[in-house]
Homo-oligomer: A and B are copies of this chain.
């Protein structure tokens, strides 16, 4: 899986998000590869992007572990689903959740048929989260996020241990790695170390040419 988190980058809201989506669709088509490709925009752009997405899956960057009710300003899982989202990122280091809330959110996602990517800052936390049975765990050492120093090169043991420990305990859970991933080599290296894919952000969201960048990253999966 190639998962692209658009965060709150100026270049990646509204029409900017649409352009990145179109670049991703085109890159998927041209390379002919059939990897799951996720784009996680601002909540507000989920509806618009879901309308236009073909192969790309639109995810939310977070959701609150709530049932419908009186929750002003919260992100209702049912609303995400109805707007067309196929899944959700949970517990990103910029939006941490209690372990109880992660469990609740995973259970709600399962009922609504939303795919879950739960973030973990290190292999031990990744292993703990694997017990909560998400679909994906994304291991992202927070100290490398946004640095351009790739976790797969700078901390190969983080990737190896996360993959080993999660798979030993719960082989159904897929492992993504993130933090500093910015080119084809970083992707290749992550896959060699056993990861099932990557989660990245600024390398695409702030790319001058998102199409070329996404195409390059997809080629890392070949």
**Which residues of A pack against B, CB within 8 Å?**
5, 7-10, 13-15, 42-48, 61-62, 66, 68-76, 78-80, 82-83, 89, 91-103, 120-122, 124-125, 127-129, 131-132, 145-146, 201-202
Q: Which residues of B contact A120 (CB under 8 A)?
A: 99-100
Contact B128 A124 (CB under 8 A): no
Contact B100 A93 (CB under 8 A): yes
Q: How distant is the Cα of A45 from the Cα of B102 in the complex, in angstroms? A: 24
CB A119 to nearest CB in B, in angstroms, measures 9
Q: Which residues of B contact A95 (CB under 8 A)?
A: 72-74
Contact B145 A70 (CB under 8 A): yes
- How many copies the complex holds: the figure is 4
Contact of A13 with B82 at beta-carbon distance under 8 Å, contacts A71-B7, A72-B92 already known: yes
Contact B70 A7 (CB under 8 A): yes
Contact A9 B44 (CB under 8 A): no
Q: Which residues of B contact A125 (CB under 8 A)?
A: 99-100, 103, 132
13 contacting pairs across A/B (C-beta < 8 A): A8-B71, A9-B69, A10-B68, A42-B79, A44-B82, A44-B83, A72-B93, A74-B94, A96-B100, A97-B98, A99-B125, A103-B121, A128-B131
Q: Which of B13, B73, B99 contacts A94 (CB 8 A)?
A: B73
Q: Which residues of B contact A101 (CB under 8 A)?
A: 96
